[in-house]
Chain A
């Protein structure tokens, strides 16, 4: 049992933190107004540090690292509120690494680890309102090619994607496809969302995909998709963890210097107790997240632990950011101050890969209910 960082983990965290402080402080403010929604310059620097390759074998230009190292990076990225398709690309790439053909891996992974390939899982299908017509995926096989028509929603940074992972039902069952974003018939329409995080509607209109682009076997798609989404939930938990740690830091610093009634507001128990609740929420989330990542790194089944972590992360994201806003008072709700970016981004992260209710249901199943 060792609940502290190893030397190499400590080094990783320190270097990531130093790098992001230098290169990414306040970056979310500029990228929010940019077309891509994230900084490609920062993206390439992260790639140079090997971050894109952290999970991948050396033969594909990766670092041969593990999930624990990945989530430590993501925690630091959450603190800096780094925008971009990092989580999507890592979990998508990881799906290809585990289940893809050798050719798919050689096509995608070296570029991915070099920062020249953005892979986006494209999984959320629209749920029609009661009474409305259900939009069904259209799948046909013509001259040895699949023709796919479908709509997917809330796909982050879809406009920047080089490839999509798309799951639908073929005759053999649910199947996962790797689709190049250059394929004719793909339309991406970004939503204007709360966190301005470039979530898109992706429409496939008779998109032609060869069977060689199937990832895994036909009929295996749902299982692979579930696994990718679990990794996503864990990654998002780590990002939320960092995000909340930064919010706490801002709140505590503010409480120490802001004076009212002739003394720092941090001397008031009302404020102290809110800060204590924030750090308790964060510490609980921290070790749930670390434990889940450690299990994945050790190849121990971690589904239940990931569901626990994301349920906790999703609920804590709201509680902690809200307390952060309250402690800051007026300045906390101004556009000029950074906190509102964290508050809005926390909501997007809460929803991504399932909210608290969603993940608690899976915890309930793991209890045999």
Chain B
């Protein structure tokens, strides 16, 4: 066993960190955009293109598609810094759609989409969830009618968060009525400008925009089908373990800020506060090691499936512990919204208390993660 980065990896980590420090202006404006709940605005696109032009969005991909052919530990290093500086660490294109296109897409799809994904030029809206298909994704019913040279898609999607600023849709749709239901799902890349797509905003309690999306006889060319028809669910499952790979870069930054606040306000003598902060530090350190382990497994060509689920669950639940603890330590002022002189850290905790809820339910709830850990990790029988 060996827990340290190689000298080369450590140099790279510093290079990435220096990049974000140098781009401070775009970076903080991009973070402001993201934290406002609107998604990617002009500053976000500017910084994504810069990250992409360095090959850092998809560093593990082949060079001909805009990658650097680096190992996953490098991807982890980049993600950690992005998380720290931007509050997000990947795009749907780089993290979810791209890997499936790379493994299952046609040559034409690869050449068309992968370089633009890796370059930070395009983004995808993730189109899995529907009003009646949440945790039970395989029960999705949006209909893709096979017309030979094209498909006609009709139905609705819910909580498709990036549909208002992405260029493309990464869409799961039903192409066959089957039992079990997951055998009749196909994946499509749909241009969001296609006639018949209607994007309607839904605002979360955290002030973040997500969407309900309605498809009214949307015509999609056959070339938009990814891989084989009716195999979409399997492709989604292949990719989902990549999606749940995470870092604690953002939490480490938040923890450092909280610690500085506690010291500046001389709150650190209280034994309860000391215990709580220490517990958070231990949690963050243990989650960081789980994140490193997931990256390390990918480098060994071992797919972290129960490990990725555990990481997702641990990080999202820890975020709850963090904001809850921070608000306990700071006291009543922590509930004051930004703009008031009484709001510590400019209302950050009031906002984070609401906004952090999303992490708990997006990309699979903690309960779904526990199912995966139990069934895939511990081989407990399914009902």
Residue numbers of A with Cβ under 8 A of B are 1-6, 9, 68, 248, 252, 255-256, 263-264, 266-269, 271-273, 275-277, 279-280, 283-285, 287-288, 290-291, 294-295, 298, 305, 308, 311-312, 357, 360-361, 363-364, 367-369
| With known contacts A3-B296, A271-B380, A287-B289, A360–B374 Cβ distance under 8 A | no
Taking a contact as CB atoms under 8 Å apart, the answer to whether A284 and B290 are in contact is: yes
| Structural contact, B282 and A360, CB atoms closer than 8 A | yes
Interface residue stretch chosen among B151-159, B170-178, B229-237, B272-280: B272-280
CB distance from A296 to the nearest CB of B (A): 12
A252-B380, A272-B371, A360-B278 known; 6 new pairs, CB 8 Å cut-off, are: A266-B380, A267-B381, A284-B289, A287-B286, A311-B282, A367-B259
| Given A272-B371, A280-B373, A287-B293, residue A364 in contact with residue B380 (CB < 8 A) | no
Closest chain-B Cβ to A224's Cβ sits at a distance in Å of: 25
| Bound-state Cα–Cα, A364 to B263, Å | 12
Contacts of A308 in B (CB 8 A): 281-282, 285-286
Q: In the complex, are the beta carbons of B370 and A367 less than 8 A apart?
A: no
Interface residue total, chain B, C-beta cutoff 8 A: 49
Report chain B residues within 8 Å CB of A290.
Answer: 1, 3
How many whole Å from A66's CB to the nearest CB in chain B? 11
Within 8 A of A (CB), among B258-305: 259, 262-263, 268, 271, 273-275, 277-279, 281-283, 285-287, 289-290, 292-293, 296, 300
Distance in angstroms from B300 CB to nearest chain A CB is: 7
**Using Cβ atoms and an 8 Å threshold, which residues of chain B touch A288?**
282, 285-286, 289
The distance from the CB of B364 to the nearest CB of chain A, in whole angstroms, is 13
User: Shortest beta-carbon distance, B286 to chain A, in Å?
Assistant: 4
Taking a contact as CB atoms under 8 Å apart, the answer to whether A2 and B2 are in contact is yes
Q: What are the 5 A-B residue pairs with the smallest beta carbon separation, nearest first? A: A272-B374, A284-B286, A287-B289, A364-B274, A363-B278
B2 lies within 8 A of A361 (CB): no
Measured CA separation A4–B3 after assembly (Å) = 10
Chain B residues near A280 (CB-CB < 8 A): 310, 313-314, 373
Cross-interface CB contact of B1 among A5, A272, A360, cutoff 8 Å: A5
Residues of B within 8 A of A264 (CB): 381
Beta-carbon contact of A1 and B281 below 8 Å: no
Asked, given contacts A1-B296, A252-B378, A279-B378, whether A364 binds B373 with beta carbons under 8 Å apart, the answer is: no
Question: With A267-B380, A369-B274 as given contacts, are A1 and B292 in contact (CB-CB < 8 Å)?
Answer: yes
CB neighbours (8 Å) of B300 from chain A are 4
In the complex formed, the residue of B with least CB distance to A268 is: B383
Across-interface contacts of A364 in B (CB, < 8 A): 268, 274-275, 277-278
Give A280's nearest chain B residue, CB to CB: B310
B375 within 8 A of A: yes
**Residues of chain A with a CB closer than 8 A to B282's CB:** 288, 308, 311-312, 360, 363
State the B residues within 8 Å of A (CB).
Answer: 1-6, 9, 73, 259, 262-263, 268, 271, 273-275, 277-279, 281-283, 285-287, 289-290, 292-293, 296, 300, 307, 310, 313-314, 367, 369-371, 373-375, 377-383
Bound form: Cα–Cα A305–B263 in Å: 22
Residues of B within 8 Å of A369, CB to CB, are 259, 262-263, 268, 273-274, 277
Bound form: Cα–Cα A148–B277 in Å = 41
List 18 A–B pairs whose Cβ atoms lie within 8 Å, in order of A's numbering.
Answer: A2-B2, A3-B3, A9-B1, A256-B379, A269-B383, A271-B380, A272-B374, A275-B373, A276-B371, A276-B373, A276-B378, A279-B310, A284-B286, A285-B286, A360-B274, A361-B275, A364-B277, A369-B274
Pair B1/A6 contact, Cβ less than 8 Å: yes
A3 engages B380 (CB within 8 Å)? no
For B262, the closest partner residue in chain A by CB is A369
Q: Which residue of A lies closest to B289 (CB)?
A: A287
* Docked CA distance A255–B300 (Å): 32
State A58–B137 Cα separation when bound (angstroms).
60
The reply to whether B274 and A294 form a contact with Cβ atoms under 8 Å apart is: no
User: Separation in Å of the B274 CB from the closest CB of chain A?
Assistant: 4
Q: A279-B377, A284-B290, A308-B285 are in contact. Are A272 and B370 (CB under 8 A)?
A: yes
Bound-state CA distance A276–B307 (Å) is 11
Inter-chain residue pair count (beta carbon < 8 A): 147
Closest to B380 in A: A266
**Which residues from B are CB-within-8-Å of A277?**
370
Contact (A269, B3) CB under 8 Å given A275-B380, A369-B262:
no
Question: In the complex, A252 Cα to B378 Cα: how many Å?
Answer: 7
Q: In the complex, which residues of chain A have a beta carbon less than 8 angstroms from the beta carbon of B6? A: 1
Residues of B within 8 A of A361 (CB): 271, 274-275, 278
Expressed in whole angstroms, the minimum distance between the Cβ of B17 and any Cβ of chain A is 18
Whether B262 contacts A363 by the Cβ 8 Å rule is no
Within the complex, the shortest CB–CB distance from A321 to chain B, in Å, comes to 17
Within 8 Å CB of A267, what residues of B? 380-383
Query: Is B1 touching A357 in the complex (CB atoms < 8 A)?
Result: no
User: Is there contact, CB below 8 Å, between A367 and B2?
Assistant: no
Nearest Cβ on chain B to A78's Cβ, whole angstroms: 18
In the bound complex, residues from chain A placing their C-beta under 8 Å from that of B310 are 276, 279-280, 283
Evaluate contact between B373 and A3: CB separation under 8 angstroms. no
Compute how far the CA of A9 lies from the CA of B273 in the bound complex, rounded to whole angstroms: 40
Residues of A within 8 A of B383 (CB): 263, 267-269
Which residue of chain A has its CB nearest to the CB of B267? Answer: A369
Asked whether, in the complex, the Cβ of A360 is within 8 Å of the Cβ of B380, the reply is: no
Residue on B nearest A277 in the bound complex, by CB: B370
Q: Give A141 Cβ to nearest chain B Cβ, in Å.
A: 40
Give B295's nearest chain A residue, CB to CB: A1
The minimal Cβ–Cβ distance linking A76 to chain B, given in whole angstroms, is: 16
* B239 → A minimal CB distance (Å): 22
Q: Which single residue of chain B is at the shortest CB-CB distance from A288? A: B286
User: Are B2 and A1 within 8 A (Cβ)?
Assistant: yes
Q: Which of A6, A255, A295, A311 contacts B380 (CB under 8 A)?
A: A255
- Least Cβ distance of A140 to chain B in Å? 38
Residues of B near A294 (CB, < 8 A) are 1-3
Q: Which residue of A lies closest to B73 (CB)?
A: A1
Q: How far does the alpha carbon of A163 sit from the alpha carbon of B312 in the complex, in Å?
A: 50
List residues of chain A with CB within 8 A of the CB of B5. Answer: 1
Contact assessment for B381 and A4 in the assembled complex, using a CB-CB cutoff below 8 Å = no
**Are A3 and B1 closer than 8 Å at their CB atoms?**
yes
Could you say which residues of chain A place their CB within 8 Å of the CB of B371? 269, 272-273, 276
Distance A9 CA – B278 CA, assembled complex (angstroms): 31
Q: Known: A6-B1, A294-B1, A364-B278. Is A284-B370 also a contact (CB below 8 A)?
A: no
CB neighbours of B313 from chain A (8 A): 280
Interchain CA distance A5-B296 in the complex, whole Å: 12
Minimal Cβ-Cβ distance residue in B for A6: B1
